[in-house]
Amino acid sequence: MNNTWKVINEAGLQFFGKMNASISHEIKNVLAIVNESAGLLEDLTGMAEQGMPVDSAKLRSIAGKIQKQVRRADLIVKNMNTLAHSIDEQEKKIDTGELLAFMAALSKRLASMQGITFEPVMSENPPEIITNPFLLETMLWRCMDFFMCTAGAEKTIEVSVAANDQGIDIHFTGLQEPGVKQDPSFPGEMEHALASALCGKIELNEGAKKITLSLPLTIHEAEQVR
Partner 1 sequence: MRVLLIDDEKELVSTLAERLSFRGIEADWVCSGKEALNKIEEQVYDVAVVDIKMPQIGGIQLKRMIADKYPDMKFIFMTGHGSEEDFLAGSEEAGEEFYLVKPVAIEELVKKMKQALDE
Distance between CA atoms of residues 92 and 131, nearest Å: 6
Q: With H, G, I as helix, E, B as strand and everything else as coil, classify residue 117.
A: strand
Candidate residues 32, 48, 54, 70; the one interacting with partner 1 per rule CB under 8 A: 32
Closest by CA to 110, choosing from 159, 84, 147, is 147
Footprint (CB under 8 A) of partner 1, residues 127-166? 153
Candidate residues 37, 107, 132, 160; the one interacting with partner 1 per rule CB under 8 A: 37
Q: Decide if residue 117 touches partner 1 (CB under 8 A).
A: no
Distance between CA atoms of residues 62 and 29, nearest Å: 16
Closest by CA to 140, choosing from 167, 111, 183, 180, is 111
Q: Decide if residue 223 touches partner 1 (CB under 8 A).
A: no
Applying CB under 8 A, the span of 63-71, 81-89, 120-128, 208-216 interacting with partner 1 comes to: 63-71
Binding pattern for the stretch 84-113 against partner 1, x by CB under 8 A and - elsewhere = ----------------------------xx
Q: With H, G, I as helix, E, B as strand and everything else as coil, classify residue 172.
A: strand
Residues 6+ away with beta carbon under 8 Å from 215: 129, 131, 136, 167, 168, 169, 170, 198, 199, 200
Cβ atoms of 217 and 166 within 8 Å: the answer is yes
Shortest distance, CB of residue 216 to partner 1, whole angstroms? 37
Nearer to partner 1, 36 or 89 (CB): 36
Q: Decide if residue 180 touches partner 1 (CB under 8 A).
A: no
Instruction: Report strand pairing: 155-163 vs 116-121.
Output: parallel
Shortest distance, CB of residue 101 to partner 1, whole angstroms? 21
Q: Decide if residue 182 touches partner 1 (CB under 8 A).
A: no
Q: Rounded to the nearest 5°, which phi and psi values hold at 173?
A: -135, 175
Nearer to partner 1, 9 or 45 (CB): 45
Cβ atoms of 159 and 118 within 8 Å: the answer is yes
Footprint (CB under 8 A) of partner 1, residues 12-31? 24-26, 28-29, 31
Nearer to partner 1, 109 or 171 (CB): 109
DSSP secondary structure code for residue 50 in this structure = T
Which residues of the shown chain bind partner 1 in the complex (CB under 8 A)? 24-26, 28-29, 31-37, 39-40, 43, 47, 65, 68-69, 112-115, 153
